[in-house]
Chain A
């Protein structure tokens, strides 16, 4: 188990085809696009009426894409239509991007599975799968983007599919409202970001990340670049639901179907961070490359200060606003904001070029894996709640543990893991995220983050209290998980306990190797 994963992360691992032609190196992306077409065609051929095998088709698609991502050798030279010299192109599928692809595809698999289990009425189900595959392809592309146009296209692909997914249930006014809000704010923030990118292009005369970085290194900071970096940050902050661009998130996550909310919370967020790692903090991945953080007049410190304040505000806002929530799905939205805050905190303190920078990036990669498992499990409970009880209000869980001990125990474990308590995997993820922050001497920021963890216990413990401690009788409609539900939740939550004690070092090592092998900008 241990040696396999790091081996995969190495450039040209033994399991890969040697010297693949260029298109072969983006096999997962190509396959995702192809599979979207396959689903469309099958739908056309079949005509009207529901067919449950669309789920199977999509699950198989995700699994194949996952396998392709595993077996495609990452490399640091680009593929695609780029005009740059020396093999620089639009897309660079390196080890870091592969790590993210695996996360996206696993999330996609679980989303499809949850949609099946949710029994929400999805009109025209195949279309939903097509959109989902589009989102996955966009996310995979984004993780490897190494050029502005490709980056922006992928970014928008993830955004627009997100709008469609969130608002897909047109019969449900809340879902429609969620989609509408998402489009409004999303379009504005994209425009702002695009404007920022155009300023970058204007100042540097290049689309390639690598060339931009070089050009920035030889340039003095200018007001235009200051504006540019703020605008680009705003675009990222919107998608990552970071303060001060987080306001849309609770409404959208609450209104969207639970599996879609899970997809947005994990895959979309991971996609944004995968790009942000390149653009906002290229430095830590390579030793020599200058970064966008150098855009500002006083070097990196001003950007760092902005990021530090944004991260502190994000986690405080997420955790404190969550305290008053009674809707579990909405609470998880705030929880995802808080987690974005923790990630941003680690990103903020990174010193470009230092070993601690690499550690920080691998810590972020590692915690995304854990966050994926935790979120999936938590949103699955919401899926079951909305299916059986017709509501995501926590009150529906009152006295739940007496009737469904296993399901309740698993959910409690997930919530403790989200809080970051040992011996769960959530603790390990937190430990990794805080380590660079403390190491760089940001004691106040670390203290704020850690105390936020204590605050978050209050709302994470609320469902646990209702399930186990509540003295009144159960409400009329409670979730009634069956055998399959129990199995799914148990399979998702068991790793949280096991990884809290054993084997997590192999995943962390996988992340570390990926970062070490990752490309220059």
Chain B
């Protein structure tokens, strides 16, 4: 059985199993965790198989030994293949999903309300996420992309916080608005090329409305907005804080850790390589949006009093780096963007878990009501420092490596005014340090504000098992980034090579 097919549909099997078994809460939880962990194993196997090949193989999407393609739907000239594959970038994203899947599943153990339904939807969501990262056919991609929305709506809407109903529908509407624009662009491309195959479209991208730069720019814009809503990039980010804050902890982890990466992945896989000329034309806009996201996200994060909201806005800022690095179209910049996606997946997931662990104990997230946690909970403070300093960009952790590469890449870009944008963007690093340090000061330092010594306790074994792997992985990438860079590098080079003739 093809590994990619297996990893995509195994969670569905788990969801189906839950419909029949799992009346007992504990059974449902373990089925959820078990199937999530099984996908982790498969994700590492996929990574291993991909990495085991000769140097540089599978650099271009559609050519790896894991590929599968069978005819699926045929009606007249309307043909859809069931095609899946990975390249260096998507195998990395699959790995990220695999790492976060069991961690988020474990984070859901505290959920008391209908765990069976929760885990069935969670596994459906997993299926959608894996499918999106490995689909090689646009039709298939779009189906998986939307399949993610449905469980997300229910997961936020049923198990979320007080404003969950509004948060769920707002998230749903925003992302759907983005994806219909995307669908329009897909149809236009399909109509011109007569194929849904992503790798074939890449080869023939120059034929999409050849000689009509304005149309190509329009299509690029439709795709870009569709994905930018998911990233989310300023000014399309307004769904994010609400959804993040209202979602239960495991879903916040998945939302920040994986779903936001879908946007970046889509840009890398489709919007950018299909319309290289449009990217270069739109560069000033792209860079501006990226830089504004970085700085705006950081400023808004600084103004928050709610701990979880601060973490949520930090995502806007950090995903801005991804767009900046990607738009720079240099090897360093794109590598940095991919690493930043991975690093942000680990660290934002970790931060949401940290907030969740504390919320479970004190049932509020007001930073002003915390204080002096460092003296009371030294172990929790230690692991929290790993997460927050990693996010701040402390050397030795993954955030530093990826942000540095993004800035190096952007600074070295030949695109106009690249250096100016980069320099403005670095302000975001300073702002990032400010809001993280202020938050640490409020929560961990100083004197306790409220008397809840008797209720506070260090993380449990389960919570350690969730937090520690993320911290360790962040450290590994921070110290030895080559484990990742070697895998993604050929794909990144293939990506930037597409733009060589357009960047003067």
B184 and A450 within 8 A (CB): yes
Q: Is A454 an interface residue (CB 8 A)?
A: yes
Judge whether B177 is part of the interface by a CB distance below 8 angstroms: yes
Question: CB distance A465 to B181 under 8 Å?
Answer: no
How many A residues, CB 8 Å from partner?
A: 33
Which residues on A sit within 8 Å (CB–CB) of B176? 421, 453-454, 457
Contact B173 A450 (CB under 8 A): no
CB of A109 within 8 Å of the partner chain: no
Q: With A454-B177, A458-B173 in contact, is A505–B74 under 8 Å at CB?
A: yes
Residues in chain B near residue A469, CB distance under 8 A: 154, 157-158, 164-165, 168
Residues of B within 8 A of A431 (CB): 183, 187
A450→B183 contact, CB < 8 A:
yes
Chain B: interface residue count, which band? 20 to 34
B153/A461 in contact, CB under 8 A: yes
| Chain B residues closer than 8 Å to A508, beta-carbon distance | 75-76, 78
Roughly how many angstroms separate A423 CA and B82 CA in the complex, as a whole number? Answer: 14
- Would you give the 0/1 interface string for A440-482, flagging 1 where the beta carbon is closer than 8 Å to chain B? 0001001100110110011001000100111100000000000
The complex places the Cα of A438 from the Cα of B180 at a distance, in Å, of 13
Distance in angstroms from B17 CB to nearest chain A CB is 17
Q: Are A461 and B147 in contact (CB under 8 A)?
A: no
What chain B residues lie within 8 Å of A506 (beta carbons)? 75
B424 at interface, CB cutoff 8 A: no
Q: Select the residue from A435, A450, A501 with max chain B CB neighbours within 10 A.
A: A450
Question: Is A160's beta carbon under 8 Å from chain B?
Answer: no
Cβ–Cβ contact A505 & B157, under 8 A? no
Residues of A within 8 A of B168 (CB): 465, 469
A438 lies within 8 A of B188 (CB):
yes
Interface assignment of A99: CB less than 8 Å from any CB of chain B: no
- The answer on a CB contact under 8 Å between A468 and B188 is no
- 8 A Cβ contacts from B189-215 to A: 190-191, 215
The dominant DSSP class at the A interface is: helix
Q: Is the CB of A422 within 8 A of B142?
A: yes
CB-based contact B187/A446 at 8 Å: yes
CB of A509 within 8 Å of the partner chain: yes
Task: Tell me if B358 is interfacial: C-beta within 8 Å of chain A.
Answer: no
Contacts of A457 on B, CB cut-off 8 Å?
172-173, 176
A380: interface (CB < 8 Å): no
Interface residues of A in 31-66 (CB under 8 A from B): none
B157 and A454 within 8 A (CB): no
- A504 interface residue (CB < 8 Å to B): yes
* CB pairs A–B below 8 angstroms (28 shown): A359-B76, A422-B142, A422-B143, A423-B146, A431-B183, A434-B183, A435-B190, A435-B191, A438-B188, A438-B191, A439-B191, A443-B184, A443-B188, A443-B215, A447-B222, A451-B177, A451-B181, A457-B172, A465-B157, A465-B168, A465-B169, A469-B154, A469-B164, A470-B165, A508-B76, A508-B78, A509-B76, A512-B75
Question: Considering the complex of A and B, which 6 residue pairs feature the smallest CB-CB distances, nearest first?
Answer: A505-B75, A450-B180, A439-B191, A508-B75, A469-B157, A438-B187
List A residues at the B interface (Cβ < 8 Å). 359, 416, 421-423, 427, 431, 434-435, 438-439, 443, 446-447, 450-451, 453-454, 457-458, 461, 465, 468-471, 501, 504-506, 508-509, 512
Enumerate chain B interface residues (CB-CB to A < 8 A): 73-76, 78, 142-143, 146-147, 149-150, 153-154, 157-158, 164-165, 168-169, 172-173, 176-177, 180-181, 183-184, 187-188, 190-191, 215, 218, 222
